[in-house]
Amino acid sequence: MAPSLSEPFSDSSVLIDFVINQGNGVKGLSEMGLKALPKQYIQPLEERMCMTNVQAQESIPIIDMSNPNDLEVEKSICEAASKWGFFQIVNHDVPVEVLENVKDATYKFFGLAAEALEWKDYLSLFYVSEEEAFALWPSVCREQVLDYMRKSEVVIKQLLKVLMKGLNVNEIDETKESLLMGSMRTNLNYYPKCPNPELTVGVGRHSDVSTLTILLQDEIGGLFVRGNDGDNWIHVPPIKGSLVINVGDALQIMSNGKYKSVEHRVVANGSNNRISVPIFVNPRPSDMIGPLPELIENGEKPIYKQVLYSDYVKHFFRKAHDGKKTVAFAEL
Ligand SMILES: O=C(O)CCC(=O)C(=O)O
Ligand SMILES: [Fe+2]
C-alpha cells in the first residue's frame, strides 16, 4: 500500500518497505511531493552542511591532459594528489560522447528501478568480465557503462604512471598494475530532489577506499571536498567534459602518506535531481596493501602496515560514513 501524504512514514518499517522492499528508492519519496523530509533522513546537526564553512574563493586544481607526458603536467598531477587529493581533468582521452551516454543511461536506469542509501539511490556494478556484465547488468545501461570503463582505462593508466613516477617508482609490472587497478566498480548515483535538503545529506563525509576514483558528474553541482585547513569545504564546480579525480585510501597507504585521500560529501538539493557516475579503481580483494616496497627500500619509515584489502573494505562498510577514520585501521 502506498503511504498517505497526510501521515508519511511515521512508522520506519513502512518507510523501509516502500523505499527498499518495493524498490521505489529515495526517488519514489521525492516524487510523492512530500512537504517535509521523513524523520529517518534527518541527520545530526554536526553532519549537515553548514554554508558558512564553504570556502567560495578556493578551488581544486584543473589539469589539462592534452599532453600527459609533459613534465609540467606530470608535476601538477603529483602536486595535486599530494596537496589536495582531488583534481579535475580536462582534454583527457575519454570522448565526451561516452560521458554523455553513461549519464543518459543513468537517467534511464533510474526511470526503471532503484535501491536506497541516505538521500540517494544507487546501482553498484562490480566488473568481473564482459560476459558477466552482459549476463547480469541491466541492459538499459550496460553498454554505456562498459564503454565508459574501457575508455577511461587509458587515462587511469596515464595517471597511475605519473603518480608512481612521482614516488620514484618507474616500472609498473603486471603485479604492480594488478595491485593498483586489479578490480573496478562503477556506481550510478541518483540524488532525487529533496523537500528539506538542509536537514539531510546526499552522501555523508567519507574518503573512498579506492586507489583512484574517476568521477563524472552532471551540471547540478553539490560535491564538496574538505579544504586543506581541515575545517572548510570546497565546492567542485561541474565542468562539461571534465572528470573529477580523487586519491583513495589504498593509494594513500601505498604511497606511505604522500598522496592524500581526502574527505568529501554530497549535499542534498531542494530544486534539482542530480546524477554522478564514479569508477572506483581498486586493488583486488585478495591483495595485501601497504607502503610500496620501493619506498621502504629508499629508506622511508613505513607509517602503515600491510593489510588484506578485503579486510580494509569490510572495515569501511562495518561503520556508518565517518570521515577519515577508516585509514586508521592500517596505521602502525
Ligand atoms: O556524487 C558525487 O559527486 C560523489 C559520490 C561519492 O563520493 C562516492 O560515491 O563515493
Ligand atoms: Fe566518494
| CATH number for the domain that contains residue 95 | 2.60.120.330
User: Distance between CA atoms of 276 and 4, rounded to whole angstroms?
Assistant: 31
Whether the Cβ atoms of residue 222 and residue 269 lie closer than 8 Å to each other: yes
Structural domain for 272, as ranges: 61-284
Closest ligand (CA of 223): 1
Taking the alpha carbons at both ends of the chain, their separation in whole angstroms is 53
Is 298 a member of any domain? no
ipTM: 0.99
Pocket residues for ligand 1 (CB within 6 Å)?
187, 189, 203, 208, 215, 217, 223, 264, 266, 276, 278
What does the pLDDT read at residue 163? 98
Rounded to 10 degrees, the C-alpha dihedral 60/64/68/73 comes to -60
Is 168 a member of any domain? yes
Distances in whole angstroms, Cα of residue 10 to Cα of each of 16, 28, 36, 60, 295: 11, 17, 12, 42, 55
pLDDT tens-place string over residues 203-231 = 988 999 999 999 999 999 999 999 988 78
Is 230 a member of any domain? yes
Closest CA to 118 of 198, 25, 183, 238: 25
| 170 CA to centre of ligand 1 in angstroms | 31
What does the pLDDT read at residue 139? 94
What does the pLDDT read at residue 319? 65
Is 146 a member of any domain? yes
What does the pLDDT read at residue 6? 53
Is 208 a member of any domain? yes
Is 8 a member of any domain? no
Is 291 a member of any domain? no
Per the structure, the count of domains in the chain is 1
| 204 CA to centre of ligand 2 in angstroms | 9
Cell of 212: 583512484
Closest CA to 217 of 158, 287, 267: 267
Percent of residues, the chain, with pLDDT higher than 70: 93
Indicate the top mutation candidate among 189, 190, 224, 244 to test ligand 1's pocket, ranked by most ligand atoms within 8 A of CB.
189
What does the pLDDT read at residue 111? 66
Which CB contacts under 8 angstroms, 24+ apart, belong to 177-181? 178/283, 178/284, 178/287, 179/254, 179/283, 179/284, 179/287, 179/289, 180/211, 180/251, 180/254, 180/281, 180/283, 181/156, 181/157, 181/211, 181/212, 181/281, 181/282
| 243 CA to centre of ligand 1 in angstroms | 12
Whether the Cβ atoms of residue 284 and residue 183 lie closer than 8 Å to each other: yes
DSSP strands (E only) in 248-324: 264-266, 274-282, 288-289, 307-308
Q: Over 60: is that where the pLDDT of 5 sits?
A: no
Helix axes 174-181, 142-165, angle to 10 degrees: 120
Indicate the top mutation candidate among 215, 274, 279 to test ligand 1's pocket, ranked by most ligand atoms within 8 A of CB.
215
pLDDT tens-place string over residues 225-263 = 999 887 899 999 999 999 999 999 999 999 999 999 999
Atom of ligand 1 nearest to the CA of 278: 9
Helix axes 96-112, 142-165, angle to 10 degrees: 130
Is 329 a member of any domain? no
Cell of 332: 602502525
| 205 CA to centre of ligand 2 in angstroms | 8
